[in-house]
Structure formats: structure tokens, C-alpha cells
Amino acid sequence: MVSAGVGPGIELISRAAMAEGPEDSTIGLPLPRAQEVAASSRWLVAMRWLAGGGVVVATWVVHRTLLPRFDPDLMYAVGVVILASNVVFWGWQGRLRRGGVGPVWGYRRLTHLQLGLDWAAMVVLIHLTGGVESPLVFLFVFHIVVASLVFERWIACAYTVSAVGLTAGLTLAETWGLVGHRHVIGFLPGEVYAEPAYEVVILAALALVSAVTWAVTSSVAVRVRRREDQLATLYGVVRAINSTLELPQVLDRLVRATVEAMGVQGASIGLLDTTGAQVELAASHGLSEAYLNKGPVLVSQSPAHQKALIGGVPAIIQNEGDRARLQYPAAAEAENIRSMLFVPLRGKGQALGVVRAYSSREEAFGPDDVKFLEAIAAQGAIAIENAMAYQAMCKMDEQKSKFTRTVTHELRAPVSGAQTLVSLIIDGYAGPLEEKQAGFLLRLRRRLETLQMLIDDLLSLAAGRTGLAAEEVTEVPVGEVMAKVVAQVEPQAQGKRQTLEFEREAEPLAVEATVQGLGRVFSNLLGNAVKYTPEGGRVAVSVRRVDHQAVVRVADSGIGIPAQSLPRLFTEFFRAPNAMAVETGTGLGLVIVKELVERFRGRVVVESQEGVGSTFTVFLPLVGH
């Protein structure tokens, strides 16, 4: 089977996908962050198995070897509670995972509950092992690291403050006698736990270590998340700008992605004109019409553009003093632009133009922003060159089709005149002909008819490719068009004593097409079926509705198509060997069918077996689908 048709079309990338990926509808986290929260929550559940088991094992070791008089029962109980609660968390996690990644708010809530229970368990463990004297006080640092990696900085800061606060509260409660102090024999003698100086030193050390841990870990986490988001954004940018070869769409998606990815006020792309002296606006986003219409940008009058386009390095305008490097500083002031970043679009041979990012803040762009915009520009330059090459190819193809149309149109009149003259001579208007002369003229007339068919097909093909077809796409009833074609072909089928069957739906099936184009599709398919079906054969035509499509099927019991010829069936000037032995043709009919069907947003499929017959099926979307 060979299928020729249009695919599902170019997928458009949403704003979120171009910027940071899809967002969770509840809390607005981009997909990479959502996956990070889910993965961290699952990792924390796994670690709590080790923590609960570690409490039990460590209690047994300490009791058996180091402190025989130490009462381990409550410590064992804490370990068992940790393990038992983790069974609940593990089950909760399983329910979340059944839906894929699961809702992010569910994982966040699960993580908060785990950390909350761990905080409570830590307070109990610290109390059981000596309160402020306990060596376990500083284990809070582990959970601060987890909170800093999973949550936003302010949430991690709240956990850090609560860790120090809980420890200070326990210390005061033991000092004031609100809860009994459990002195760990062999560590610190006497009542040192109640000494204010000792308490202040321990709590200050805990606060310092916790604060440093939070500051360092959260800063690293923020940078890592930013890098992850930038990578996700860059991937989205690459998908967005490479999902089409239309240059205006490529440029528009590039500037939109730049604005959303960098969180800037606006962005624009300027491409060098053919002289290289002027930068012409090609696309923009987030900028007013007044700013865009400020005037032509001349490279010679803009040092910032000179640095980017001639020097080949990024240029940054960071404050009011730098605006002297702009050609239109007053326009930037009126637009409330305080910072600008210029990055060159480098092609294979030369600079194509420049990507410009605009911010309403001074000192808005740093080294990371420069590298990120350079990465976007590098991908954008590739996409722009591909789009330009595609445009050039389309233009060449259009010129070729126009040339073909012109030449074939000029050939039509002399060929038609020659046919008329030959027919007049054969009919005897120029006097009687000898048998040999008549034979030569009949062969000449057949050659001229074949040439006329080729001219007609070339004109039709060129008209379609250059957009010069006369009719506009409208709602066309498929059944009525096919009925007219069947009526036209029926005499030819009767002449070959063929059985011609036609069935169609009672309800009208309308598609978006042209009457002339759809008629040409059906004429080609039905004409070929009759032409290549021997005398006494059968040709069946049906028009039916299948879901939201009109399905037109033309089946015959003809000579069929060899298997090796099927892949090339819709190629220009190709004809199967058995077809060439039966009838003359141009090899363009099926090419025209395919291009017309694709223009009407449909597809054509052929099934055939040599010596058995062929079935051509055309699928066309119904109006409104």
C-alpha cells in the first residue's frame, strides 16, 4: 500500500512550553520543577526507611556497648513510629504515582507532612538523648538541606527558623522544669544543660550552622533550578522555531520565546538588508508601535549594533550613561527601556542580524543572560537560514512552474491548430489519400493527441503550484461532483462493456475544495480505472461518510500495479511498465491528484495487486472538521 497525503500539520508550542514547560494548574510550577518535587518526595520516603531503621539499630548498639544503663524503650518507640508512618507515606506516594507524575500539590503536601513528622521526631530524639546536651541537635541540618533543595527559599528559611526555635523551646522547657531533663550519663556531668552560657553557645552554634546551610544550599538550588529552567526553555525554543519553515513564524516564535524565557520587557529581531548598512525590523514582541516606528536603524550610527554585527560580540546597555551608544536614546527613554542586550545572529558565512532584549530595569543583564541569549540566537540563526533556504527553494519552484505554464500555454495553440489541419486532411478535405498516407496521418494525429494531453496536464500542474488556479476553495458537495464525473465516463465504460457501479450517501457530504479541482481528481481516478480495465471488467465507485471524513473509493478489476512500481506511483512522469504497454499517458495524472487532494487537506491511498485490480481511496475532511 502507498499513501500520499498531508500529515497532521505543524504543532504549535504553547507559551508555557516555550518558556518553562507546562505548569501545574494548582501552584503554577513549570514541569521540570514539578518533576523535581515529585522525585524529591519519593527520595525522602526511601531515606526515611533508613532513618527509622537507623534509630532502632543505633539505639541497640548504644545500649549494648556504650551506655548499658541507658533506657532504650522510648528510642525504639520513636524508630518504630518513623517506620510505621513511612508505610502510610509510601502508600500515599503509590496512589500519586498511578496517574503518572501525579499532582504536584499532592507531592508537596506529602513532603511537608514528612518533614513535619521528622521535626517532631527530632525534638523527641533530642529530648531523649540529653536535650541541649544531645549530639543529635545538629541533625536538623540534614532536613534543612532537603527543604532548601525541594522548596522555595522562603519556605526553606521557615523550616530553618523552626528548627532553631524548636530546639530553643525544648531547652527552655527543660531549664524551667516544664519537662524533665534526661541526662545522658558519661557525656556531660552535673546540670550543665541549665547553664545559660552553655545554652546560648549551643543554640548560637546551631543557628549559625543552620543559617549557613540554608543560605548556601538554597543559593545553589536556585542556580541549579534556573539552569534547568533555561535548558527546558532552550529545548522549547528549539522545538518552537524549528516546527515551521515559514520565516515570519520562525522569527515571531523566536522573539516570544526570548521574552518569556528571560522575563524581559520585550525583544526584537533585526535582519541586515542586502547592503549591510541598515538593520530592518523583522519581528518584535512586547514593544509599542511608537518605538517600533522610531525610524531606520543604521549600523554606522549605532555603536551597539556595530559591536554586535561587525565585532561579532554581544553589546549591553545597562544604564542611562550607556544610552549614548544608541541611535535613538530618546525613543528608549520614552519606552521606559533602561537596559538592552544585543546578541548577533551568526550565519554560516556572515552575520544575519541581531537579537535584542529590552528591560525596564537598570543593570538587568549579567553574564548568564548573555550566554543564554547567545544560545537562543545560535539556534535561531540555524532556523532562520533553514527558513531562508526553504523560501528560496519555493521561489525557484514557483518560477519553474511559471516558466512551464508559459511555455506550455504557448504550445497549446500551434498543437491545436496542427490537430485541426491533420483531421481535415484525414477527412478528405484536401483530396483523396492513399492508404499509406492515411496511416501516417492517423499515427500523427495520435501523437498530437498525446502531446495535447501532456500540455493540458502540465498547465494544470503548473497552475496549481503557482497558485494560479481560477477557483477559490468553497463548500463542494462530493456526491454531486462524482455523479457528474460518472455520467461523463459512463459512455466510455459502456463502449468496453464494463460494469460501472456507483453508490453514495443519501445525505450531502460537503468538503472544502474547488469544483474544478475535485472534478479533476475524480476524472483522473475514474478515467484511469476504465482505461486500464479490460473489456467486460468491473469498476465500482462509492462516496461514504466515515466519522468526520468523506471517503471516496474507486475500485477496478483491471491490470493492477506491480509491487515494485507502487512506491513511485505519485512521481512526475512515472508510469508502471504494464500501463505503458496498454495505453498512452503523461505520467502526471496521479501527481495532479495527489497535489489537489493535499491542497484540500486530504490524503489519497492506493491498494493494488498486479493482474487483480486497484483501489484508490480519497479521504477528505468534511466542512467544519
In the chain, what are the domain boundaries? 16-237, 255-385, 394-465, 474-621
What's the mean per-residue pLDDT of the chain?
Answer: 80
- Identify the CA nearest to 524 among candidates 613, 622, 594, 601: 594
Q: How many angstroms separate the CA atoms of 289 and 268, rounded?
A: 12
The answer to whether the beta carbons of residues 421 and 488 sit under 8 Å apart is no
Which residue(s) pair with 545 in the sheet?
550
State the pLDDT at residue 191: 60
The cell for 77 is 518507640
Lowest mean pLDDT: which of 151-165, 356-370, 431-445? 431-445
Residue 12, pLDDT above cutoff 60? no
Lowest mean pLDDT: which of 158-167, 305-314, 582-591, 606-615? 582-591
**Selected residue with higher pLDDT from 493 and 401:** 493
The answer to whether the beta carbons of residues 373 and 355 sit under 8 Å apart is yes
Residue 602, pLDDT above cutoff 50? yes
Residue 542, pLDDT above cutoff 90? yes
**Selected residue with higher pLDDT from 238 and 171:** 171
Lowest mean pLDDT: which of 26-40, 42-56, 95-109, 386-400? 26-40
Helix (H) or strand (E) holding 511: strand 510-513
CATH match of 474-621 with 3.30.565.10 = yes
State the pLDDT at residue 376: 82
The domain 255-385 is classified under which CATH number: 3.40.50.10800, 3.20.20.70, 3.30.450.40, 2.40.10.10? 3.30.450.40
Q: Strand, coil or helix: what is 366?
A: coil
Alpha helix segments (H runs only) across 350-366: none
Q: How many angstroms separate the CA atoms of 327 and 296, rounded?
A: 9
| pLDDT mean over 44-50 | 84
pLDDT (tens digit per residue) in 266-308: 999 998 888 888 999 989 999 999 999 988 899 989 999 999 8
Q: Strand, coil or helix: what is 314?
A: coil
| pLDDT mean over 21-42 | 53
Give the rounded percent of residues in the chain with a pLDDT score beyond 70.
80
pLDDT (tens digit per residue) in 193-224: 667 888 888 889 989 999 999 999 988 888 77
Q: What are phi and psi of 272, to 5 degrees?
A: -65, 140
* pLDDT class of 17 with cuts at 50, 70, 90: very low
Which residues, 6 or more positions from 311, have their beta carbon under 8 angstroms from its beta carbon? none
Buried/exposed code over 79-91 (b: 16+ C-beta within 10 A; e: otherwise): bebbbebbeebee
**Selected residue with higher pLDDT from 191 and 397:** 397
Q: How many angstroms separate the CA atoms of 587 and 494, rounded?
A: 25
The answer to whether the beta carbons of residues 596 and 609 sit under 8 Å apart is no
* pLDDT class of 406 with cuts at 50, 70, 90: low
Residue 341, pLDDT above cutoff 90? yes
Residue 314, pLDDT above cutoff 70? yes
Q: How many angstroms separate the CA atoms of 253 and 249, rounded?
A: 6
The answer to whether the beta carbons of residues 354 and 303 sit under 8 Å apart is no
* pLDDT class of 463 with cuts at 50, 70, 90: low
Burial class (CB in 10 A: 0-12, 13-18, 19+), 67: middle
Strands 613-621 and 549-556: antiparallel
> How many CB atoms neighbour CB 505 within 10 A?
14
Q: How many angstroms separate the CA atoms of 370 and 317, rounded?
A: 12
Residue 25, pLDDT above cutoff 50? no
Helix (H) or strand (E) holding 150: helix 140-150
State the pLDDT at residue 240: 64
